[in-house]
Chain A
Amino acid sequence: MSKGVAITGMGIISAIGNNVAENYRSLIAGRTGISQISKIDTLHKDSIMVGEIEFTNRELEGKLGLSPNNNYSRTALLGAIAAKEAIADAKILDIKAYRTGIISSTSVGGMDMTEKYYYDYLESGDNRRYIEGHHAGDSTEKIAEQLGIDQSLVTTISTACSSAANAIMFGARLIKTGQLDRVIVGGADCLSKFTINGFKTLMILSDTHSTPFDENRKGLNLGEAAAYLVLESEMLVKKENKKVLGYVAGYGNANDAFHQTASSENGDGATLSMEKALTVAGLKPKDIDYINAHGTATGNNDLSEGRAIIRVFGKEVPEFSSTKAFTGHTLAAAGAIEAVYAILSLQNNIIYPNLNFKTPMKEFTLIPETTLKEKVLNTVLSNSLGFGGNCSTLIFSKNP
């Protein structure tokens, strides 16, 4: 099997912290970021809980030094903040010294501004600069500009809740096939009325703190976040003597081909994606030390994913937990958020607690870790499963 792809930097902003260090502190303190929504005036504000980032758009614009007439959606603002941290973490001084690309992902894109100015656009010219900021690729273009990436490979993936995992996968393949020397991969999604109401109509939003893998789970909490990893080629790592945080050892993508929004009861897609990732990594199920599950706390996901885990790991399921009760389900960004958490797990030999779990599900005997656990970790498997049957698995490792 070919070697893993080196991760040399990471950045994140989520409801539990504005950078990697803050996120880690919240994870080990068991501190959730879920609260009542404050920044969007929605009819549902008393009946949902969300993972909201503390900064206002104005504050984020200030951090990025943007002029008042900028046309950044909140997705682009969050993305730029996290991507900049990743670049700084990787100690990249000259982004143009190597062939550097960016593969980002989003599901919301600039919808937050579109829903705000939808009718206003037709009446007045004041906010029309945001029209160009609507399409999903716009936030990626802005992040590229912020990082100084030009004349290069820049693209965006949108496969619902598996988007960022797919961006990491595609980025790793671009490095492996020598298309790029360095690639920034990840995703960003802000909260919007569009997604809140969308998930509300699907009746999968919990009115309280979400409880992944619990028999009495009531649905998910939405969240907003952005996270990016820096992937670098073996040549670059050697030449620059880079510090490596971990490796993308394996990846797998499969489609459930079952239903437009629901997962199959037996988790066919998730089973396939985990199996593929193990094959690419050259690992056996017993080699996996911890699973950071997708675990959204919807009735459908946790049953389907749990069954898939049992199909792949049999009676020897390693420790697993979902971190969604910390951050909320951050949709397209989730795969990148949890990639950062997986690397932090490997670095610190720590398994995070699956918050709010009380009652085992009746369909199987799987029980997530409910307290912080220390364990020597060499490999972490991370699942991201989404609408349209999209199932993705990434395996991160300490060693190449």
Chain B
Amino acid sequence: MERSEFRNELFRIARELGCEAAETYYEESENFSASVLNAELEQYKVAKECGLNLRVKYGGKDGYAYTESFDDPRALVCRAIDNARVIESTDSHPMIGAQSYAPVAVRATPLEGVSVPDKIAMALGIEQKALAFDPRIRRVQTCEVETGHSRFELHNTLGLCAERESNEAALVLSAVAESDGVVKDGFAARLNSRADDVDGLVRETAQNALFKLSAAPVETGTYRVLFKNSAAAMFLFPFVPLFSAEEAQKGRSLLAGREGEKIASDCFTLWDDPFHPYAPRAFDGEGYPTRKKAIVENGVFQTMLHNTKTALKAGTESTGNARRRGASPVGVGPTVLSVESGEGSYDEMLQKLGDGLMLDDFGGLHAGVNQISGDFSLMASGALIRGGKPVRAVDRITIAGNIYALLNEIEAVGADPAFTVYGAIESPSLLISVLSVAGK
């Protein structure tokens, strides 16, 4: 069945079966990736995905049903109604009607229009450059070129019609360096608008792997620490749910009810920016118009992120942060997060650090972070810094602390923002005045 015909049938059947309203969230994507190893194509992937998530309002409750085959609209509506029937929560979740949105141009990536053979040739070229960078670079682990195109559509029986498209591109490189029996790997990626920076990618990956060859732990103790830009972003990412009104209303954020309070150093400002060129969008997962806002401004906590449900419960307006993905129900999530830049290049930040540790990678972010208490204990690596200069690489250490304390220990914020590959969040380098480290 054609998509619009399927949708119309869903809406007709939903009304027939007594639903007050119905909404469809449709997602489709086409993706390509090619990876090479030893000057040959190693893996190649061509993907076409699509799925439709139906949300019905039945007896004032929401029920969801998702499908990837568009052949039985009645069964889908019945499943959604069946799911609405068991809802016991009394929280109301509004469905909104037609909205008007700010125009957002679909961003093109540098790999737009590049043919498949040329993408493969690009991957082969990256591998060649990585191997030629230094004789100690022995091989690549991952050398991949990826492109994708996605389309999202939201429609409901109240007249909502919101559609958007996006393009993605990525170059991903991981290379292995070996010297005197020591083996280390380096990793870097270039995303979206930067997916043509082959030389930068190769240099960062190779230098990262080579530098690690000299790595060793440091003594257990407390240190002044610089979180390098993309590592700072990577570190902050697992704590993002602390700013979700959904988490707060479920008793899972210690920031609940603390709007207007000072929670971080004066130099720390965090934006949620839906119009950031990284991934711009004019509406959220409920079709609510998005807007840019500070979550933390000069250290003061400004707002939780809301969808219409959490906003209604809190007696406020949605912040345009409804999250929706695949078969999941409407949730709450950030758009693009951005820590506001302060002053100083990366090298200047090292100077400000003076003596301490620079950390550029963390391990265990999914397990070593307690989102309830804010405690973290993570594997880390980076470099030992003396007088603002790297002395040697450091690995196999852990850092431990609490996010609420750490936000107040931010002494300075750099002007070198970078994204992490783990989520849509960018941060400049952050100088932390004190942190517990376990090593030797």
Partners in one complex: no
A residues neighboring B (CB under 8 Å): none
B residues neighboring A (CB under 8 Å): none
